[in-house]
Amino acid sequence: MTTRPRILVRPPSGRLEDGELTHLERQPVDAGLARTQWDAYRAAFTAHGWEVQQIEAAEDQPDGVFVEDVVVMVDDAAILTSPGADSRRGEVESMARALEALRAQGEPITIHRITAPGTLEGGDVLKVGSTVYVGRSSRTNDEGIAQLTAIVEPLGRTVVTVPLTKALHLKTAVTALPDGTVIGYEPIVDDPGIFPSFLAVPEAEGTAVVVLDETTVLLSAHAPRTAELLRARGLTVVTTPVTEFEKLEGCVTCLSVRLR
């Protein structure tokens, strides 16, 4: 198998504008622009040495592009989730097929599942070192967190439950920099004190970063002041426009799953 870092992505559905909304007012979504932005997102990874693997499209699943929500990777454990939104449960089986195909090709993964009555969405899972923070949200319940804990604790991880009432997912509110500092937009973070090291960012769109390498992060182009803040900390910041996905409470983390 390749030694390059690799992500799984899924192209946006033409029905993207019908996706679920919880905390935002619905706005018109330009499907053509969304595809252009998705292509640019993929290109940002390719330009930094990542392999981008596309899984099958899901035209009947408006939120299918947000692949992070249906599988959580911890080491070689691929944990298929149990989405809290009924409309998203159809996304899981196509992800299961993609994972089985990878395993057949020699990818050393073990596949686990979160099952009802547990609910868990990957956007609520933030891994920082050996700690796995899990948002207790409208999409992720206590039973889902308990099942995740039973899978990841034997892998040397400690699960910390985070109260979440002001944002859709935990990673809508916070993500982490390469050095483990958690960043977030304070008005939508219930309790910043949960995190040992917390840095407030000036824009809601600046809460989400994807770590490309130990000195480089990927950030929404809609957060220029956050980009300036992170560059002042010595990071290289790559920006990409994701406005059409942000209209649906999406962000740069939602659009891919890293295989570890």
What does the pLDDT profile of the chain (260 residues) look like in tens digits?
447 899 999 999 989 998 887 888 889 999 999 999 999 999 999 999 999 999 988 889 999 999 999 999 999 999 999 999 888 998 999 999 999 999 999 999 999 999 999 999 999 999 999 999 999 999 999 999 999 999 999 999 999 999 999 999 999 999 999 999 999 999 999 999 999 999 999 999 999 999 999 999 999 999 999 999 999 999 999 999 999 999 998 999 999 999 96
Does 1 reside within a domain?
no
Instruction: Please name which of 52, 53, 16 lies closest in space to residue 33, comparing C-alpha atoms.
Output: 16
CATH code of the domain containing 241: 3.75.10.10
Q: Which of 212, 188, 173, 169 is nearest to 70 (CA)?
A: 169
State the pTM of this model: 0.95
Structure tokens at 19: 């996706």
In a domain, 149, yes or no: yes
Q: What's the total number of domains in the chain?
A: 1
Is the residue at 67 inside a domain? yes
Show binding-site residues for substrate: 21, 63, 68-69, 88, 139, 248
What the block records as the tokens of 134 is 């899990």
Q: Domain range holding 240?
A: 6-259
Indicate whether 64 belongs to any domain: yes
Binding-site residues: 21, 63, 68-69, 88, 139, 248
Annotated active-site residue 169? The verdict is yes
User: What count of other Cβ atoms lies within 10 Å of the Cβ of residue 54?
Assistant: 12
| Residue 233 within any structural domain of the chain | yes
Q: Which of 23, 112, 169, 251 is catalytic?
A: 169
120 lies in a domain?
yes
Query: Of 112, 222, 251, 254, which one is the catalytic site residue?
Result: 254
For residue 237, the number of C-alpha atoms closer than 13 Å in the C-beta half-sphere is: 22
251 in catalytic set: no
Answer whether residue 250 is part of any domain. Answer: yes
